[in-house]
Structures are given as structure tokens and as C-alpha cells.
Structure 1
């Protein structure tokens, strides 16, 4: 007992694996197979090496047609090869379909894993943001509470001072109210500035570009004026009023106003007019100086743009 050779087996299968009218069943029938045993692993390898599903189906159709036409006249070893091919092709087709489904499922699982990782990352970022937002909300609420406490505490101080208006000197009362207002304003503004830092908002004017040499030479007060104009104006006016109040208190303490009251009315008008003129001149001087600095800064900005 001997096996059919590899060459004879593949010759038979190649002859039956031709497309359409190219196949000649009479020539296939004349192929001689020497041996009475079949190496089924050769047939299985041949079928598995066919990657195209359509080509495998074509081989199955040709063999089925060949068997229908000449099955009764074929040798036993011929029929063994044909029957094994007809048995293995559907199995290989099913195996290929399963492999494709497994591959497709694996790709889908990989996509799900990637999507799951992305969702985990998004959830982690959201949780981190929520935790940060909660901390920011607590900080903002605490600061607003401090603002309210500072505001109403200042109002209580002012109310207490006004209640004692008939008991203390009016100059002292005015000076105390100005100091309380000065402290209240700066504390509240400082708390609001802290809130702006937490929320990422701005309550200041943008800085002058550092590239401008003139801007670098600006003093602290001028930088404060351009970056925090509200703070600058309020504190400047408050300090002027405090100085004026102290000056008036000093003058009145030595009864200068009482002595002036004995002078003629025209003399009083002249002195008041001189005081007003000096005050206006000082304000005008401050205005000219600030305007000059504004012009220098605008020229600096134009030079940077060009």
C-alpha cells in the first residue's frame, strides 16, 4: 500500500481549480493516480492556502460537477480526494468566517477599550474640575461673606460716629469717617481682587508693554494710576480730604477762623478765593502731569505697533 504522491494530488486539484470554460473534465479524468492511500493533510494545506473565498467555491463547484458527470467511472482513490475536498471546503469557509468575526470583534473590543480609556480620562478631568470648582465656590462665598461683614461693620462704625456727632468735634468726626471709609474700600477691593484671581477674571487694566523703556521708568504711583485707576482716585481724594480736615482742625484749634470772623467780609472772601485758587492750581497741575504721562504711553504704544 502506497500514498498518492504530492505532485499527482496537486495536479488533480489544479486541474479542477480552473475558472469557467477553461476546465476540461475529459483531460482531468485521464489523470492517473498511483497509489491507493491519500495524504489528507496535503489536501487540507492546499485548500487553506487558497485565500480567496470565491476561488474555493469555484473549486467546490467544479468538483461537484465533475463528480456528477464521471463519478461512476472514477477510481476509488480519485473519489477519496474529491470527497475529502467537498468535505473540507465548507469547513474551511466556516473557519474563515469565524476568524473574520473574531478579528472584527477584537477590533471592536479594542475600540471599546480606547473609548473606555477616553471616558475615564474625561471623567477624571471632570471630577478634578468639580473638586476645584467646589473649592473655588467655597473660597468665593467665604470672601463675599467677609466683604459683607466688612461693609456692614464699617457702616456700624460710621453710624456710631454719627450718633456721637453732638458730643465730639466735627473735624474729628469727619476724619474718623474718612479713615473708616479708606479702610473699608481697600479691604473690600482687596477681597474682590482675590475673587478675580480665583475666577480668572480681571478687575485691572492691562499692563503697559514691558518693551517700552519709558513705561519701565514709571513710578509706583503712576503704575497704580494706570493699572488700578479706581483705587488710585479714591485713595488720592481720601488722603486730600484727610489732610484738608487736619489742616482745618489745626486752624480752628488756634481760633484762626474766630479771628477771621472779626475781619471784614471782603477779606474773608479774598482768603477763601485764594485757597480755592491754590486748590484748583494743584488739581490742574496733577491733571497736566497725568496727561503728559498718557501721551508718552500712547507714543510708546504706537512705536511698538510700528
Structure 2
């Protein structure tokens, strides 16, 4: 029982990180009606910016305080993501208003490759580390309940709590603020939103900035765990099954989908890995997403769209 709970907790903590990345996909889709294939590149770009600025700023300013360096690096990296959001809106999205969804989709693919190249140009292509003081040692809990207790990762626990807090804050932002309602209106119909005075360009800058913030936090967490390398953008691909499972338009769906994927892949690797020769954790999420596409294409909480002709 103890080993099962350890695996379950590990899956839940990993699932919150997947939910955080998936939230970036949901944010962009809810504001523009297009699936943002650039989200993985945004996570990588933000993590590279954080790692390199945390290294450069102490040299530029002549001090050696890790906390201050990380704080300044976070501020500079976030400012860079906001500038990036403004440039994406100004140079790309503003010229594609009311275009077909496939046009916007291809635009996000182009943005993804551009960010990959820009990241290498600005920050290099080595493996970098991010040290934000997250605890690395495991902890033993519930020793009085289970024999030997349960072993959990402090780093995963802190990362899951940070992710949960951010996901909750963004969900409240979407549901309770005027800007959040304007974002939903823009996603429903660009022209109708403009006709009632919603500034489309400002809304898109805001949503890409918020998605950039989510990408920065996710990049810091994953970079602290795995190191900042260009395979980091592939981690974001794990969020694709999450949004398929939860629904492209649902923030709660992104949360629940992430938890299901996280727990499912951990438990399947442990309890089914011997039957499939291992490696099931790599493909479990995609097989589960494929099954949902066949049975419920809109996901658990997605909106079922009916076109009347």
C-alpha cells in the first residue's frame, strides 16, 4: 500500500506540472481559437532566458547573491516574454485577424521554429542549470501510519504546490475578471468582439503575456529538475494529451487532465511495465488521448460544437 501511495503522489505532482504547461495551450486557444504549437518553444525560450540571465546579471552588477540574482533574472526574463508577446501580436497575429484557423495554426508553427533558433542565437545551445533554491533531498512522511513511511520528493512537492497556486490564480483570472471575460468573447468571435469595443490587439498581447508567464514558471521548474536543454521543448508535448483529455477550452479540464495523465503514466509504468517491456510511461499519455479522441473528441470538459447547415 505504501509503495502504491508513493507512486500515486509522484503521479499527482508530475500531473500538476503537466497542467501548468497545458494551461498555456488553453489560454491561447480560448483567446484566439487556435492551437498554439509554439508553447513548447516558449517554455524552452523562457527557461534559457532565466538560466542565462541568472548567470550574467551577477557578473554585470558585480555581486554574488543567489536570491537577488534569481529575482532579477525572473523579472528580466518575464519582461522579455512580454516584449515577445507584443512582437508576436504586432508582426504576426494582427495581420491574420479573421483568417482561417489553419492559417493561425501554421503561424504558431513558424513562431515555434523562430523561438528555437532565437534561443540558440541569444543564449547558446549548451546544457544550463537553474538553481532557485528548491530542495533536492527526499522526505519521509506518514511514518506512524505506514511501516517505514512514504518517501516523496521535496522538489516535486514544492513544484506541484507552485503549479497548483498558479493554475488556480489563472482560473480565477479567466472566470472572475473583466479581462478574462473579454478573452472568452474574443475566442468566440473576433469581429463581434471588436464591434462591441473589445481591443483585439491588446487582448492578444495580454493572453500571450500570460501564456509566457506560465511558460516561464514551467521552464524554471522543469529546468531546475532536468537542466535547461533543447529537449526541454519536448516535455511540453506531454501537455498535448492533457488538453485533448481535458478539453481545449477548459481550465478545469487542463487541471484534471494533467492529474489523470500524471497518475496514469506513473502507475502504468510500475504495474504494467513488465508486460510491455518498459517504456510505457513514454507513450501511455498519447494512447489514452487517442482513445478519448475516438470516444469523446471534445474532451472531458470541452465544448461540443454543433454546426447547423
TM over 0.5, shorter chain:
no
Which structure dedicates a bigger proportion of its chain to helix? 1
Higher relative contact order structure (alpha carbons within 8 Å, sequence separation ≥ 6) = 2
TM-score (norm 1): 0.23
TM-score, length-normalised on structure 2? 0.23
